[in-house]
Structure 1
Amino acid sequence: MRYKVTFVVGLALGYVLGTHAGRERYEQLRKSARELAQNPVVRNAAETAGQSGRQLAGKAFAAVSDKVGDAVPDGLVGRVRGLRGRGSGADDDWGTSNT
């Protein structure tokens, strides 16, 4: 799924950069992209993906730290703890309303 989305985004970006259709078509594509980004289903999917990523990062950190022990750098420990704290849903960059 990620590769399909990446392909579509790349295709759209290439079209916008390479088109000779002018400003009108650019504005139309921009409006469509904005509407898609504001769609509650898309926002919830992005939020779910972010939470899943944070959970996987925590699990990976736990697995690595069990094998490596105290050799895990403190900076990495702080980053992972920061990712875990963001999973609470308090203030995220998406502004979802969980509807």
Structure 2
Amino acid sequence: MKTSSKLSLVVGLAAGYVLGARAGRDRYDQIAKATQSVWNSGPVQKQVQNVQGLTSKYVPKAVESSFRGAGKVASGLVDKVIGNGVKSKKSTPEAPTGTVPNPAKS
């Protein structure tokens, strides 16, 4: 089992216990205090900083490449819908619907 999976399991169990506990406010405060001490400990904060560094390094690249890929897909779909992959070579553009006809075509 990966370390991140173990951590997720522990966090999930702790959250479930806190939310499901019927021991009252005192027990909740005790659990919250213990959780804060673990969260603020050196090893946990070191890992938090590592994750923040990796996130700031890789997330922008992932988002950019995702948008670039989506743009290529959208462009390919438009080409297929409009002209089966062949772009139109009209010399004068069509007038938009609901406007005066294009004088260049007269």
The structure richer in helix per residue is 1
| TM-score in same-fold range (> 0.5) | yes
Q: 2:40 aligns with which of 10, 15, 38?
A: 38
Q: Call closer, same or farther: CA 1:51–1:22 in 2, change over 3 Å.
A: same
SS of the counterpart of 2:22? coil
Q: Provide the rounded CA distance (Å) in 2 between the counterparts of 1:59 and 1:17.
A: 37
Percentage of matched positions with identical amino acids: 34
Which deviations, in whole Å up to 9, do the C-alpha atoms of 1:30-50 show, x marking residues without a partner?
000111111122112101111
Report how many residues are paired: 69
Deviation sequence 1:41-81 (CA, Å, 0-9, x none): 2112101111112222244356x38xx48x48xxxxxxxxx
Of structures 1 and 2, the one scoring higher in RCO (CA 8 A, sep 6+) is 1
Structure (1 or 2) with the larger CA radius of gyration: 2
Aligned-residue offset at 1:15: 0.7
Runs of 4+ in 1 over 6 A off after TM superposition: none
CA distances 1:13-34 after superposition (whole Å, capped 9, x unpaired) = 1111111222221111100011
User: How far apart, in 1, do the equivalents of 2:60 and 2:32 lie?
Assistant: 36
> Taking structure 2 as the reference length, what is the TM-score of the superposition?
0.52
- Which of these residues, 46, 49, 52, is aligned with residue 47 of structure 1? 49
State how far apart, in whole Å, the 2-side matches of 1:17 and 1:38 are.
21
Give the TM-score taking structure 1 as reference length.
0.55
Quick one: structure 1 residues 61 and 27, their matched pair in 2 at CA, closer, same or farther if it must change by over 3 Å?
closer
Q: Secondary structure at the match of 1:30?
A: helix
Structure 1: segments with no counterpart, 5+ residues? 73-99
State the Cα RMSD in Å: 2.6
Gap regions ≥5 residues in structure 2: 73-106
Equivalent residue letter for 1:15: Y
Using the alignment, how far apart are the partners of 1:13 and 1:61 within structure 2? 31
